[in-house]
Structure 1
Amino acid sequence: MSAPRYLIDTNVFIGLEDHAEVAPVFSSLLQLASRHSVGVFVHEAAIDDIRRDKNEERRRVSLSKIKKFPVIKKTTGIDQAALEVRFGRIRKPNDLVDATLLHALDMGVVDFLVTEDQGLHERAERVSPTFGARVLYVADAVSLLQTTYEAIDVVFPAVVEVEAHTLPQDDPIFESLRSDYDGFDIWWRERCVKPMRKCWVVMEDRRIAGLVVRKDEKPAETDASLPGEKILKICTFKVRPESRGVKLGELLLKQVLWYAQTNRYDVVYLTTFPSQKTLISLLEYYGFEHTHDNGNGEIVYEKSLSRSHLQPDPAASLFDLARRNYPRFATGEGVTAYAIPIQEDFHEILFPELIPPKSQMSLFAEVGSQRPGNTIRKVYLCRAPAMITQPGALLFFYKGKSDGFPSQAITTIGIFEEMTFATSTEELRRLAGGRSVYSDVQLRMMNATEKRPVKVINFLLAAHLEPPMSLDDLQTSNVFAERPPQSIKNLAPSQQISVLQRGSFGFAI
């Protein structure tokens, strides 16, 4: 079994505007890779790109930095036309380098590509969701290595609600906020501390890794342009520079959208600078629209939240409809649904926020004492014989008999995106991709082979049933027969509705 290989783009460690922000997390990437015998490579095409740099001194420094990494050679016989068919239009030399890196990833020469280039992430996503999940930001690559190889020590980050005055002003995250906004300290004291404004924070190592500050607004006092009486403004949406990536931003956005939908807001919006490309891509993926600019160099992104039933759109897949309208999803006629039995251990891996907290401690206690949280995009691994083919199908996760609460109950609803098959551990690592929450030991124990492949199910976390729907209720409602299913089970429309009626989602089903 070969060791995993990570291909790093040159922008990970050279040519960035602020080296101080990237260096710590890049060091963590190299340390973790070295500790666990994970190969870190650069590509010959990227070296060619550096050699084209007209700044002689910068070119010399860049080439000296890249020498310590082993090189993936270019594949002969692959021309630009062939790359464009697979990876999209190539307009300039940098695009050709990007497509060449993706080609190495596509061939399986490497398992993951690490880059801060938003355009490269978007190219990969257009190939397929599974392929896109193998292109990682540096922070997410570090998170994946920690989860894969140091799972015993890793605790999922927690979203905690606090008041602004309780946060220490010497926390490093405030330094980056001060550099972004003139007069930040005055604004923070007058607009956040004095009114004790509510915030959500994510803690890592007793420091703030992510911060959201929220504010209720009325139509007469808002910068939002979409219609609505109840408006939620996200005044601050900040992830600490060394923690930037998809996962923490997605975790915070999930908190914002679940809160706004449940509490019947009409509009949620925020302002950001055009340079925040990762945040903008995340917002657009989940249905935010760039409505206007505010005159301060910022752009305004807004999202309408409806409480009506989400009607299928013939022009879009049910999955695309769900992600754009997240956390709403289509239900009823034309929407297939499945019950997916899941063992307790894997349930806790996928949905750690449902693990009952052992104790209530202060915000700055050890992170492990907090209720953990998780992101929106997930992957589930199984060998169930059933096939799921409809993007946007509903997945009802049934937790089997368990020592912990709940036991024998449907707890969670997911939105199906894509199913693929892994026929080896190496392929399983790749297909689980950046969404994986499984350790390498767990992946190897699944023993994926051509005769016994492992199904890789990508989905969005849509909602949790509160309270979970127990086996007694499932049997009484004829969702299950006398015994719960041992494998993935297709549910009839009436059974689907019986489950959904137990939830409170903030919109009509």
Structure 2
Amino acid sequence: MSTQTYLIDTNVIIYLEDNRTVEPAFSALTNLAAKHKVDIFVHEAARDDIGRDSNLERRRISLSKLSKFQKLSKVRGITPTDLEAAFGRLARPNDVVDATLLHALLIGAADFLVTQDRGLHDRARRHSAEIGRRVLYVADAVQLLRTTFEPVEAPVRFVEEVQAHSIPLADTIFDSLREDYDGFDSWWRDKCVKHRRPCWIVEDDGIAGLLVRKDETSADTDATQKLNKILKICTFKVRPEKRGVKIGELLLKKAFWFAQRNKYDLIYITTYEGQTSLIDLLEYFGFKHTHTKPDTERIYEKRFSSSSSGSSEVASAFEWHRLNYPRFILTPDTTAFGIPIKESYHDVLYPDLRQQPQLDLFDRQGRGNGPRRPGNTIRKVYLCRAPSNLGRPGSLLFFYKGKSQSPPSQAMSALGILEDVKLAYSTRDLLQMTGGRSVYSEQDLENWQASSSSPVKVINYTLAAYIEPIIDLKQLKSMQIIGGHPPQSIYQISSEKLGILLERIDLGFTP
């Protein structure tokens, strides 16, 4: 397998060295890269950008921070006009640098670009979904390196609901919150502990992720949209050393699904401009910046409705779904497919559904009153060699788990929305195409033996819902979704059968 190469945005280095909460991730990035002989580069154009700084002392310091990295040379003859044609309007010299970095990805000079710049992430996604997936935040790059080179079977963690008073203030999850917000301890005691606010937590050697929620109404809310039933995310925190394993995405999925099931009209959160990765995640899933308070705190809101309707303002049904997640829309030309999946892959993609020993289903303090679902991400990737092209972005994907040792077995269990399908002709292609959301180790990817004569299909999609209760083989046959024998390859589901399937699933909204 070809060695991975990572291109580092200069803003990453300067930002990370000035922000102590993400230093562990940056240290892990450089340590893992050195350990596994992964090359890290700084682009020559970025050095030129720093060279324009009129402050000589600051310029000297900034350049000294770059000297320990290898330099990636500029492409000879490439002009700003060429870059603008590929990556959109370049109004400032820094925009030209950003486009130059993306161009390095486009031509294969680097596998991934690491940056904390939300604008650069957004520009990459506007160019193409594939380039967007190869632009990573620092924590995501660390997790990709660990997944690729240090595969371990991570224990399945549960999202657990607790009350605020049950979390001790000494827990390390509060350390950075206490540093960032004056009077945090008093606020926690007066607003959260006293009112026993409900929280979702993810535990991993202590609390790795925390989301505190609060019910509000139009008469008592900071949201700009004064709707009837409002869910406020009061605190949303992932411990710095636990970033990169998608805990934030997991907690956000929990909030989305909770809001949908309980028919909230609006969900909102407040944050500050410096929380770039959080803001990027919020905006990706449809939150809009609606107001900035005098202290620069920003309000981000996402509206829910009881039904879904299309919009001409988005490029595809998938884009509508992304912005309105977990909702999706049906159009007259919506296509649907059944995807058979083996137990081993099902367990990797949907650990939420994997049956655990009894001791894992109930915590030892006895707080649990039933099975709690472990975490996984919203954005997923599935590999196969099935001949189907799966239709256009926005197609519905129904995953059918084949005969298995543990339940569910021979049943339709999950519903996804197609983002795109690509063909990988080499292991390096697989690395690049799955990198932003990979659950595959280096050996996993090599075992596919992708080649020009035997490419691997890379299916990117989002998990829209679990099918509850599952639809087993007997029911699928009675509904004529499946014929005499369980399917062995991807197959299309007719519009008529799609309607029958969707009527059987309680989505919490009408598509």
TM-score, with structure 1 as normaliser: 0.93
Q: Which moved more, 1:255-264 or 1:28-37?
A: 28-37
| 1:245 Cα offset (Å) | 5.9
| 1:428 Cα offset (Å) | 1.0
In structure 2, the partner of 1:202 is 202
The aligned runs of 1:69-88 (5 Å cut-off) are: 69-88=69-88
| 1:380 Cα offset (Å) | 1.0
Q: Which moved more, 1:104-113 or 1:349-358?
A: 349-358
| SS in structure 2 at match of 1:487 | coil
Distance 1:157 1:53 in 2: 47
| 1:269 Cα offset (Å) | 1.4
Q: Which moved more, 1:449-458 or 1:148-157?
A: 148-157
| 1:287 Cα offset (Å) | 2.0
Q: Is the 8 A contact 1:319 1:415 kept in 2?
A: yes
Residue by residue over 1:223-245, the C-alpha shift from the partner in whole angstroms, topping out at 9 and shown as x without a partner, is 23325322211111223345556
Q: Is the 8 A contact 1:332 1:493 kept in 2?
A: no
Residue by residue over 1:183-224, the C-alpha shift from the partner in whole angstroms, topping out at 9 and shown as x without a partner, is 2211110111122211112334x2433221101122222223
Distance 1:10 1:259 in 2: 39
Describe the shift of the 1:4–1:157 C-alpha distance in structure 2 as closer, same or farther (beyond 3 A): farther
Q: Which moved more, 1:53-62 or 1:499-508?
A: 53-62
In structure 1, the partner of 2:300 is 301
**2:9 pairs with 1:9:** yes
Q: Is the 8 A contact 2:125 2:132 kept in 1?
A: yes
| 1:166 Cα offset (Å) | 2.0
| SS in structure 2 at match of 1:90 | coil
Distance 2:65 2:287 in 1: 39
Choose the corresponding residue for 1:311, options 309, 312, 315.
309
Describe the shift of the 1:293–1:9 C-alpha distance in structure 2 as closer, same or farther (beyond 3 A): closer
**2:325 pairs with 1:331:** no
| 1:294 Cα offset (Å) | 4.2
In structure 1, the partner of 2:221 is 222
Q: Is the 8 A contact 1:392 1:415 kept in 2?
A: yes
In structure 1, the partner of 2:452 is 450
The aligned runs of 1:142-157 (5 Å cut-off) are: 142-155=142-155
**2:116 pairs with 1:116:** yes
In structure 2, the partner of 1:401 is 403
User: Structure 1: where are the runs of 5+ without partners?
Assistant: 364-368
Q: Which moved more, 1:64-73 or 1:16-25?
A: 16-25
Q: Which moved more, 1:412-421 or 1:492-501?
A: 492-501
Q: Is the 8 A contact 1:348 1:355 kept in 2?
A: yes
Choose the corresponding residue for 2:442, options 431, 435, 440.
440
Opposite residue 303 of structure 1, the aligned amino acid is K
**2:130 pairs with 1:130:** yes
Opposite residue 389 of structure 2, the aligned amino acid is M
| 1:354 Cα offset (Å) | 1.3
Distance 1:31 1:297 in 2: 36
Describe the shift of the 1:247–1:85 C-alpha distance in structure 2 as closer, same or farther (beyond 3 A): farther
Opposite residue 348 of structure 1, the aligned amino acid is D
Opposite residue 112 of structure 1, the aligned amino acid is F
Q: What root-mean-square deviation, in Å, do the aligned CA atoms of Structure 1 and Structure 2 show?
A: 2.3
**2:25 pairs with 1:25:** yes
Q: Is the 8 A contact 1:209 1:240 kept in 2?
A: yes
Distance 2:134 2:280 in 1: 17
Distance 2:73 2:437 in 1: 28
Distance 1:388 1:254 in 2: 25
| 1:315 Cα offset (Å) | 4.4
In structure 2, the partner of 1:343 is 342
Describe the shift of the 1:142–1:480 C-alpha distance in structure 2 as closer, same or farther (beyond 3 A): same
Describe the shift of the 1:321–1:99 C-alpha distance in structure 2 as closer, same or farther (beyond 3 A): same
**2:414 pairs with 1:415:** no
| SS in structure 1 at match of 2:214 | strand
Describe the shift of the 1:153–1:405 C-alpha distance in structure 2 as closer, same or farther (beyond 3 A): closer
Describe the shift of the 1:503–1:226 C-alpha distance in structure 2 as closer, same or farther (beyond 3 A): same
In structure 1, the partner of 2:501 is 499
User: Structure 2: where are the runs of 5+ without partners?
Assistant: 366-370
| SS in structure 2 at match of 1:292 | strand
Distance 2:232 2:107 in 1: 44
| 1:314 Cα offset (Å) | 4.2
In structure 2, the partner of 1:366 is none
Distance 2:255 2:197 in 1: 15
In structure 2, the partner of 1:235 is 234
Distance 1:203 1:45 in 2: 42
| 1:307 Cα offset (Å) | 1.9
| SS in structure 2 at match of 1:14 | helix
| 1:85 Cα offset (Å) | 1.0
| 1:154 Cα offset (Å) | 3.2
| 1:371 Cα offset (Å) | 5.0
Q: Which moved more, 1:146-155 or 1:236-245?
A: 236-245
Q: Which moved more, 1:161-170 or 1:239-248?
A: 239-248
Residue by residue over 1:306-357, the C-alpha shift from the partner in whole angstroms, topping out at 9 and shown as x without a partner, is 122x233344321111112211111364311100111111111111111123
Overall identity of the aligned pairs, in %? 54
| 1:15 Cα offset (Å) | 4.5
Q: Is the 8 A contact 2:143 2:245 kept in 1?
A: no
Distance 2:460 2:291 in 1: 34
Distance 1:23 1:179 in 2: 15
In structure 2, the partner of 1:280 is 279
Distance 2:351 2:438 in 1: 14
Q: Is the 8 A contact 1:382 1:455 kept in 2?
A: yes
| 1:124 Cα offset (Å) | 0.7
Distance 1:137 1:17 in 2: 15
| 1:302 Cα offset (Å) | 1.8
In structure 2, the partner of 1:426 is 428
Residue by residue over 1:247-278, the C-alpha shift from the partner in whole angstroms, topping out at 9 and shown as x without a partner, is 33322211111011011112211222233333
Distance 2:78 2:421 in 1: 29
In structure 2, the partner of 1:378 is 380
Q: Is the 8 A contact 1:469 1:499 kept in 2?
A: no
Opposite residue 229 of structure 1, the aligned amino acid is N
Opposite residue 234 of structure 2, the aligned amino acid is C
Describe the shift of the 1:225–1:198 C-alpha distance in structure 2 as closer, same or farther (beyond 3 A): same
Distance 1:158 1:65 in 2: 40
In structure 1, the partner of 2:368 is none
Opposite residue 443 of structure 1, the aligned amino acid is L
**2:104 pairs with 1:104:** yes
**2:214 pairs with 1:212:** no
Distance 1:133 1:272 in 2: 24
Q: Is the 8 A contact 1:147 1:154 kept in 2?
A: no
Opposite residue 459 of structure 1, the aligned amino acid is Y
TM-score, with structure 2 as normaliser: 0.93
| SS in structure 2 at match of 1:126 | helix
Residue by residue over 1:133-157, the C-alpha shift from the partner in whole angstroms, topping out at 9 and shown as x without a partner, is 0010010011111122222243465
Distance 1:207 1:62 in 2: 37
Distance 2:319 2:18 in 1: 35
Aligned residues, how many? 504
Q: Is the 8 A contact 1:335 1:393 kept in 2?
A: yes
Q: Is the 8 A contact 2:422 2:459 kept in 1?
A: yes
**2:471 pairs with 1:469:** yes
Q: Which moved more, 1:496-505 or 1:373-382?
A: 496-505
In structure 2, the partner of 1:175 is 175
